Structure 1
Amino acid sequence: MSSTSDHTHGNEHIHRFLILGKKKLFFYHLALYNPQSGHDYQAVFSFTIKDNGELREMYLKDRAQHEDERVFYSLRCPHHFELPELQQGKEFSVHLERVVVQQDGSRKFEQMTTSETAVSCKKEDVLSFRKLGNLDYPEYLTYLLFGEGDEVHIAHQLAKRPNWDEVVTIAPSQSIDVAMLKKVPTFVIESIKDAHDKLIESPLKKNQQYQGKINGNGATVDFTVGRQGWWNHTSLNS
């Protein structure tokens, strides 16, 4: 097993996609604000992993062993390509990584697979795709909402820099329309003002209940905060 330290993520011109969910897997691009990095995109995907479920099984088994720890999982692309190519459909190869958050807050990326796995991205798998920049800080805490069934995820909307990148799985008190989730709408939590800066820990506390509005003025959804699937306030802003 090979590993890289957190700072390497900012220097490599390769892409990583966070893995979210258990039943239906979603993939979230790990962004960096620096336009020279090639990673200045916030994007959500639903890829197809072409390996008869072996990588998925490895991910689920390892996650079960670290469910209550700050351990995340990602797909690392060892071969460079420009991220917008995915919008036209593309096949590429990946390694599965375990991302361990250490006591000082830094992250260690541990490669779990020994051989590359093929992944297919169709045009319809690109659920949300936006280049960073030209988005003002919102008044209230704002996330992107996506998922399927009882597995719903929210990713902090990356507005101005500096900021923080976070993905959390939530448990809504009522079902959310499948078609709406596929649109990846914004999800506004009016009880919390946006920090207009980077934070070093989440404003959403695990197991606590909050209320959000879809697209800021749509349906109101009560939810409970579950497992954190990603956090970055450091290399994101470098």
Structure 2
Amino acid sequence: MSSAVHTDTYADTDTDAPRHGHRFLLIGKKTVFSYHLPLYYVPVHAFQLITTFGLPDQLRTLYLADLAEHEDQQVYYSLFTEGHWPLSEIVDGTRTSLPVELERVTVDAQGARTFTPLLPAVDATCRKQDVVHYLPLDPEGGYPDYLTCLAFGRDDEVHLAHQLAAAPNWDEVITTVNPQGFRPTDLAPAATLTVPSIKDAHGVLPKSPLTTGTTYEGRIGERTVSFAAGRQGWWNNTSLNSK
């Protein structure tokens, strides 16, 4: 594997060997979820997909240890897998494994992202029954009235991914603190949650509309849930919208 550090690229570009593939953000501790990094205008990446992979113990242990050291920093973690194969292969069960490389994603003061390899490629397994959300992006879709997220997780560990309804937009995943009222059926498959106190921006935001530590009420159907905004596991308001 190349040891090069890649800055603010989705398809890695190494001066010696161009590399292109999918990236999945690692979200969670007790159960580690994988969130595909979507791009509106690159057809092979124009999907929101949330699943769990069967991760080798070595990778899981390294991810959790490194996360513990950077818990209070704007640091994310991703899996890179080479090749522009269709994500539908995971969803329909024709792909059952993939080689993944663990990366630490750091963000500088200007917002540029750097992907630093932490572990060479190891095999992860995937099962179609572990997919909790899969939907193509529609740049021409209509914006919702209020902030709308996808709720996913397991037990008391609940995460929210911003639902990408139209372009331009921003991509964000957070882990909640003290989630109340969520049911297992809200998390798998991922339920749609609205936050009536926050108007949808109908465009790109420079930072998250959710303030860390603040408690919010949300709606899943006719039911009220609540959560405090916790650690941000991903943020992108640039390459998501690039043509």
Tell me the alpha carbon deviations over residues 26-73 of structure 1, each in whole angstroms, 9 at most, x when there is no partner: 11000000044x100011101112x2x110000000000000000000
Query: Which of residues 229, 234, 238 is equivalent to 1:225?
Result: 229
Question: What's 1:83 paired with?
Answer: 87
Within-5 A mapping of 1:1-238: 1-9=3-11, 13-36=20-43, 38-49=44-55, 51=56, 53-89=57-93, 90=95, 91-114=97-120, 116-133=121-138, 134-214=140-220, 217-238=221-242
Answer yes or no: is the 8 Å Cα contact 1:4–1:110 preserved in 2: yes
Instruction: Name stretches of at least 5 consecutive residues in structure 1 with no aligned partner.
Output: none
Indicate the SS of the match to 2:180: coil
Q: Structure 2: how far apart are the matches of 1:46 and 1:118?
A: 14
Q: TM-score, normalised by structure 1?
A: 0.93
Answer yes or no: is the 8 Å Cα contact 1:29–1:44 preserved in 2: yes
Q: Structure 1: how far apart are the matches of 2:131 and 2:64?
A: 23
Q: Give the 3 Å change call, closer, same or farther, for CA 9–199 of structure 1 in structure 2.
A: farther
Q: Give the 3 Å change call, closer, same or farther, for CA 231–173 of structure 1 in structure 2.
A: closer
Q: Structure 2: how far apart are the matches of 1:80 and 1:234?
A: 21
Q: Structure 1: how far apart are the matches of 2:146 and 2:202?
A: 9
Q: Structure 1: how far apart are the matches of 2:102 and 2:109?
A: 23
Q: Give the 3 Å change call, closer, same or farther, for CA 146–234 of structure 1 in structure 2.
A: same
Answer yes or no: is the 8 Å Cα contact 2:210–2:229 preserved in 1: yes
Percent of aligned positions with the same letter in both sequences?
45
Instruction: Name stretches of at least 5 consecutive residues in structure 2 with no aligned partner.
Output: 14-18
Indicate the SS of the match to 1:7: coil
Residue type at the aligned position of 2:4: S
Of residues 4-13 and 178-187 in structure 1, the stretch that sits farther from structure 2 once superposed is 4-13
Q: Structure 2: how far apart are the matches of 1:175 and 1:212?
A: 10
Indicate the SS of the match to 1:222: strand
Q: Give the 3 Å change call, closer, same or farther, for CA 179–173 of structure 1 in structure 2.
A: closer
Q: Offset at 1:230?
A: 0.2
Q: Give the 3 Å change call, closer, same or farther, for CA 10–236 of structure 1 in structure 2.
A: farther
The count of aligned residue pairs is 232
Q: CA RMSD in A?
A: 1.5
Q: Structure 2: how far apart are the matches of 1:85 and 1:60?
A: 28
Indicate the SS of the match to 1:67: coil
Q: Give the 3 Å change call, closer, same or farther, for CA 127–8 of structure 1 in structure 2.
A: closer
Q: Offset at 1:9?
A: 3.8
Indicate the SS of the match to 1:77: strand
Q: Give the 3 Å change call, closer, same or farther, for CA 45–8 of structure 1 in structure 2.
A: closer
Q: Structure 2: how far apart are the matches of 1:142 and 1:64?
A: 29
Q: Structure 1: how far apart are the matches of 2:181 and 2:225?
A: 9
Q: Offset at 1:173?
A: 4.2
